Structures are given as C-alpha cells and as structure tokens.
Structure 1
Amino acid sequence: MHKAIKNKSRLLCGLKSSKADLTTAKFILYYGPSVADSDIYDLHDSKNLLEDEHLDLNKNTVLYLHGYLEDPDVESIHVIAEAYLERNDTNLIVLDWGELADGNYIFDAVVNAKQLGPELAKVLLDMFEHGLDIEKFHIVGHSLGGQMAGIIGREITRRSKGVLKIKRITGLDPAFPLFYLTAGLAAHLSASDAEFVDVIHTDAWLYGAPSSTGTVDFWPNGGKTLQPGCPKRNYKMLSDNDLSSHRRSWWFWAESVSDRFPIKFDAVAAKSWDDFKLNKIIESEQPVVMGHNCPTNIHGDFYLQTNGLTPYARGKDGIIYVDPKELLGNNNTYEASVPAKVEQ
C-alpha cells in the first residue's frame, strides 16, 4: 500500500516517466501571407525543414511553443502567427505538440513536456550544426510552453558542455502549477536558461509564475489577475473566463510583434507594484519597452499599465499610474477585451 502511494506521488510530481509518443510533435513553418500558408515537418525531419525554400537562414528565427490543451487551431497560434507574418525579418516555426499537451496536466502534459524538451534540444543542436544560426534564434513559450522553453535551454547548454547557449527565451506567463513551491521537483524557467530571458507576467500565483526568475521580468498592471478588460473570474477552471488574464500575455506579445501598432509598451523599473503606483521608479538611461523590441542589456523588474482592449499599449502614458477605471476598455466584459476571433 505504501509503495503504491509513493509511486503515485512520484507521477503526480512529474518524476515518474510515462510512455509518450514524441513523434506526434511537428514543426510548422508559417510563411504567409495567411496562416493557412505553412509547411509541416516531423520532429526529426529537420534536414528538410532547413532546406525549405520559405526558410531564410539569414533572418532571425522564432520557435513558438504553445501551452496546455492547445494546438495549431487555437486562437493564440493564429494571433501570434499573423503578427509575425506582418514582419519581413523573422522566420516563424511553431511546435505543434497538441497531443502531448493534452490529457491530465499533472499526469500527462507536464511529464510529456519534461520528455519532449530534451528531445527538442537534440534536434535543435543538429539544426545549429547544419545551418541554423543560434545567434539569431529565439524561443517564445506561453504557459507550459514557457516552462518547456527553459528545459530546452538548459539541455542545449548541458549537451554542448557549456559551449552553446540559446540567445533569447521569452516566457509568456510561464505555468505556475508544479514548477514553483515544489522543492525543486520541476525546475522552472530561469535567467540561466539563455543569454537573455524576458518574462511577461499577467496571472501570477494562479495560472502564471508567481515570482521574478528572468533576466528581466515585466509586470503589466501588477502582473496579476484581473488584467484590465478581463471579466470577474468565475473560477471554472480552464474556462475562457478564468483564463482571460493568463492569455493576456500572448495578446501583449502579438501586439508588440506586429508592425501595425506604433505605440509601444513603455515600462519603468521599480522595486514593486506599490512603488510604481507611487511613481517611485528607478531611473534608467534608456527607454525600455516590453515585448518583441525589449532591449537585451537590461535586468530587473519593470512595470506598466495597459488598456483593456486592443491596442493594449499606452506608450508613455502607461508608465504613469492611473486608476484602472480610467483605462480604455476597462468595462469588465470579455467580449470587449479582445478582438474578434480569427477565422480558422
């Protein structure tokens, strides 16, 4: 009886291996002009991916990792892909690990992420050896995908014996459950996983990471629920309502990537959200923005306010605290907080 309980506990904490078919994971190269224009490759078919005529190895390359219970048909992937397709300087590869990110979060998805991460690291190391420039490579991950980005970064450094390190990892509200306050049972995304790690917090202590662990951590609207424009939580786990603040991180990211929005997510350094509200900021010698164009020579915690609907960025207005009731779109209706869904 005791042994059975112990084994169940190990699986609960993600320590016990479960059989996962890692070959179900696919690379999707989006080349536009619409999200329907893409090429799909098996996880271990990186040779043909590198030879794809739509992959320009002279450009920057982003690998996007979606979160728990997601797949390429969800809104987040479409929004992210459309934002990158507006640019001409970046290749976008999305990892479709939908089958592995499904099922029970504890028993399936987290365990699968811990197995898939090292396998991806091996594939990427081979790609770096055959033409993909690690200096122009950037991993962006949302929720559980953000935690898997950290696993990949650590594995690349370990397998190369410290010779190689991912240039940049961005965590979009990295998943909280099992990765924090668990005595290290599941290592979380940290500043050491890449040369530069930026983290955007929007639902801290609930679905998202509760503390600062990146090279730089951004805390829009304090980094917690409720984000402006999001509905009062109904606490129906994983419902659209309950996930609104958690999802706001990838909305912010997509807006920062897109060329359509001239106003940026200006941010300022402060010791805490309370200090930010009192305008007790730490002076910086350079303008700092959250998102795609974040400078990579900064560190620490940065704060800002956003609107409750798109465009979310408030530019310089976002670094002077105002009553949240004054923010555009802060009407507590989910429908008003996001644009219309992308046609699939």
Structure 2
Amino acid sequence: MHKAIKNKSRLLFGLKNSRADLTTAKFILYYGPSVADSDIYDLTDFENLLEDEHLDLCKNTVLYLHGYLEDPDVESIHVIAEAYLERKDTNLIVLDWGELADGNYMFDAFPNVKQLGPELAKVLLQMFDHGLDICKFHVVGHSMGGQLAGILGREIIKRSKGARKLQRISALDPAFPLYYPGTHLSSRDAEFVDVIHTDAWMYGAPTSTGTADFWPNGGNSLQPGCPKRNYKMLSDNDLSSHRRSWWFWAESVSDRYPIRFDAVAAKNWSEFKQKKTAETSRLVVMGHHCPTSIYGDFYLQTNGQTPFARGKEGTVYVDPKELLGNTSSLSCICQPQH
C-alpha cells in the first residue's frame, strides 16, 4: 500500500517516467521562400539532414523548440519561420515534438520533456561530430520549449564531460508550472542565456533565470494591447501575454524593422518607472541581435501592436495608456491574434 501511494505521489509531481515515443519527434528544415517549403527528418536521420542541399553549414543555424500543445501548424511557428526566412544568413530547424507536447501538462508533457532532452542532446552531439558547427548553433525555445532548451544544454555539457557547451540559448517566457522551484533553465546551461519575460508568475518564469533577463513592460500581464484575462486556462485571452514573447522575438529577427528593442539595465521595474537607471548603463538590444557580452536585468516598454519595438523611446517610462494605440504604417509579418 505504501508503495502504491509513493508511486501516485511521484506521478502527481511529474517524476514518474511516461511511455513516451521519442521517435515521433522530427527535425523540420525550413528553406523558403514560404513556410510550406521544408524538409522533414527523423531524429535518427540527422546525417541526411546535414547533407540536405538547403542546409548551408557555413551559416548560423537556429534550432527552434515550440511549447506545450503546439505543433508545426500553429501560428507561432509560422510567424517565427517567416521571420527567419527573410534572413539570408541563418538556417532554421524546428523540432516538431507535437505528440510529446500534447496531453496533460503534468502527467504527459512534463515527463516527456525530461526524456526528450537527453535524447536530443545525444543526437546534436553526433551532428557536431559530423560537421554542424557548435560555435554557430543557437537554440531558441518558447515556454516549455525554453525549459527543454535548458535540459538540452545541461545534457550536452554532461555527455561531453564539459568538453562542449552550447554558445547561446534564448528562452521566450520559459514555462513556470512545475519548474519553479525545482530544476529549470539557468545561466549555466550555455555560454550565454538570454530570457524574455512577458507573463511572469502565470505561464512564464517568475524570476531572473538567465545570463541576461529582459522584462518588457515589467515582464508580466497584461502586456500592452492584450485583452483582459478571462482566466480560462489556455484560452487565447489567457495566453496573450505569454505569446507576446515570440511576437517580440520574430520582430527582432526580421530586418524589415528599422527600430529595435532597446533596453536599459535597472534593479527592478519600479526603479525603471522612476527613471532610476545606471547613468553609465549603455542601451542594449533585446532579441535576435542581443549582445552576448552583457549580464543582468534589463527593462523596456513596447507598443501595444506590431511593430512592437520603440527603440530608444522604449527605455523611458510613459503611461501604458499611451502605448495601446501606438501603431506604425510599416508592414508587419502578421497581426497578433488574441
């Protein structure tokens, strides 16, 4: 009887291994010009992926990890892929782990992430041995995908006995539930870990967890332009602020936007609002172009609609009501849908 209770307890806390079929995870290489143009490979078929004529090993390579209940057909991946396809200097590979990211968060997806991470690390180490340049490799993950990136980074260090370490992990509002307190993404998982917080204490991480943590609009709900929460779990309204992190990221990737997400170092959001920032603090950029030499917490304000970036103006606090209708005639990838 005691054994049964113990097993039930482990399951409730997501510690019991589920029977995940890791072979359902696939690599998708997007080569454009549209998101319909892609090649799909099993994880074990990485050698053919590396030989794909659309993969240029001289370029930077991004591996994007989607979040809970997502798959390649969701809006986030389309928006991210479209942004990268505008660039000519980056290969984009998306890990489709949709079947493993499905089901109950605690009983299915959470245990599956812990099994998928080590397997993915093993595959990536083999890819590095076969020509993929780890120095040009960048992992970007949203929500639970951000936590998967952390596991991936830790496993690469562990399996290589410290000989290899990812250069950069970018986590877009990494998942909060079950990870805090506990083992979660940290600055130790890569040479540089930048985190964008947009829904702290709800769906997203509640505390600084990277080398550099960015807190646009304070880092929590409601992000400017998002509808009032209806607190219906996983509804469009409820997820609006959480999703804003990948909207910000996609905009930062696209070079069609002349204005970037300038941010400034501050102790906290309250001091940023009071313009108490370090006089010697230089402006840094949040997102794709973030310098990897920085560390600490950075704050900024964004517009409530695309394009979101406000440049230098975003580093000086203004009443959020002024941001809701702040739009531009610039074309955009796609308008956010709530």
TM-score by length of 2: 0.96
Correspondence 1:266 to 2:262? yes
Correspondence 1:282 to 2:278? yes
* 3-state DSSP of counterpart to 2:100: coil
Provide, for residues 7-28 of structure 1, a one-character-per-residue CA deviation record: whole Å limited to 9, x for no partner: 1221222211111100000000
Aligned equivalents of 1:90, 1:192: Cα separation in 2: 25
Match of 1:215 in 2: 211
Aligned equivalents of 1:32, 1:71: Cα separation in 2: 19
Match of 1:292 in 2: 288
Match of 2:87 in 1: 87
Match of 2:51 in 1: 51
1:151 CA drift (Å): 0.1
Provide, for residues 192-240 of structure 1, a one-character-per-residue CA deviation record: whole Å limited to 9, x for no partner: 0000000000000000000001000000000000000000000000000
Correspondence 1:228 to 2:224? yes
Match of 1:304 in 2: 300
Match of 2:330 in 1: none
Aligned equivalents of 2:106, 2:127: Cα separation in 1: 31
* Amino acid in the other structure paired with 1:169: I
Match of 1:97 in 2: 97
1:285 CA drift (Å): 5.5
* 3-state DSSP of counterpart to 2:210: coil
TM-score by length of 1: 0.94
* Amino acid in the other structure paired with 1:38: S
In the alignment, is the contact (CA less than 8 A) between 1:269 and 1:283 conserved in 2?
A: no
Aligned equivalents of 2:46, 2:199: Cα separation in 1: 35
Q: How does 1:7-26 map to 2 (within 5 A)?
A: 7-26=7-26
Once superposed, what is the RMSD of the aligned Cα atoms? 1.3
* Amino acid in the other structure paired with 1:7: N
* Amino acid in the other structure paired with 2:217: N
Correspondence 1:243 to 2:239? yes
* Amino acid in the other structure paired with 2:82: E
In the alignment, structure 2 segments of 5+ residues that lack a partner are 328-333
Aligned equivalents of 2:106, 2:336: Cα separation in 1: 32
1:287 CA drift (Å): 3.0
Match of 2:121 in 1: 121
Correspondence 1:316 to 2:309? no
* Amino acid in the other structure paired with 1:96: D
Match of 2:167 in 1: 167
Summarize the Cα distance change of 1:39–1:284 in structure 2 as closer, same or farther, 3 Å threshold: farther
1:2 CA drift (Å): 3.7
Aligned equivalents of 1:142, 1:330: Cα separation in 2: 26
1:3 CA drift (Å): 2.9
Aligned equivalents of 1:29, 1:38: Cα separation in 2: 5
Equivalent residue for 2:198, pick from 194, 199, 202: 202
* Amino acid in the other structure paired with 1:189: L
* 3-state DSSP of counterpart to 1:223: coil
Count of equivalent residues: 331
In the alignment, structure 1 segments of 5+ residues that lack a partner are 332-337
In the alignment, is the contact (CA less than 8 A) between 1:228 and 1:330 conserved in 2?
A: no
Match of 2:251 in 1: 255
* 3-state DSSP of counterpart to 1:35: coil
In the alignment, is the contact (CA less than 8 A) between 2:259 and 2:311 conserved in 1?
A: yes
